[in-house]
Amino acid sequence: MHIRVSDVKKWVGRQEAKHFCEEWPELVQERSPYPMRGAAEMDVTVRNVGRALIVELEGLGHVEAVCSRCLETFDLVVPFSAAEEFREEPGASDPNEDFFRFQGDKVFLDEVVADVFGASIPYAPVCGDECQGLCPVCGKNLNAETCHCETSTDNRWTVLSQLEFPDDPSSS
Ligand SMILES: [Zn+2]
Ligand SMILES: [Zn+2]
């Protein structure tokens, strides 16, 4: 996944845009906790600011996520966006630097997309706000079935009320 920059490089202020609709790079799949679905849809703008090229990207991806409440798989739409600086310098990009390196007429985007996409996936996705989850007693999926388990003896609050907090050191 790359964008050609041979023209953008010619003078400061020049900008180009490209729409991507293609296969996800392998690196994105490697860093995603869930299987990717469908193609990568993404708009990329590259701008010459003199010392570097600024690449802005915005896209949508679909993954086959697992709901953290009911454990069913569902199609999760993941919007992502990033703005990164690319400098034309020899050598590989260094994760400790706040810019990426490129050489020649192509800027490769796999690394940026993999980073930002991975970071945009929610830690505990839910299939919908209304998801009822699983019964904590019998494990039935409460979206599809009902059960008659005794869940009114919810002891979470009892546990909370028994917690003892140490004195706040900042107040002494
Ligand atoms: Zn769910
Ligand atoms: Zn139950």
Structure tokens at 30: 């490697």
pLDDT for residue 13 is more than 60: yes
**From CA 154, how far away is CA 95, in angstroms rounded?**
47
Which tens digit of pLDDT belongs to each residue from 96-124?
A: 888 999 999 999 999 999 999 999 999 99
In the chain, what are the domain boundaries? 2-120, 132-165
| Phi-psi label, residue 139: left if phi above 0, alpha if psi -120 to 50, beta otherwise | left
pTM of the model: 0.77
Length of the chain: 172
Please give the distance of CA 5 from its chain centroid, rounded to a whole number: 26
Which tens digit of pLDDT belongs to each residue from 54-103?
A: 999 999 999 999 999 999 999 999 999 999 999 999 988 888 888 999 99
| Of residues 156, 135, 155, the one with CA closest to residue 145 | 135
How much distance in Å is there from the Cα of 63 to the middle of ligand 1? 15
Kindly identify the ligand whose nearest atom is closest to the C-alpha of 148: 2
Separation in Å, CA 31 to CA 41, 116, 120: 18, 10, 11
Bridge partners, residue 40, by sequence: 22
Which residues keep their CB under 5 angstroms from ion ligand 1?
A: 67, 69-70, 127, 131
How much distance in Å is there from the Cα of 132 to the middle of ligand 2? 12
Kindly identify the ligand whose nearest atom is closest to the C-alpha of 146: 2
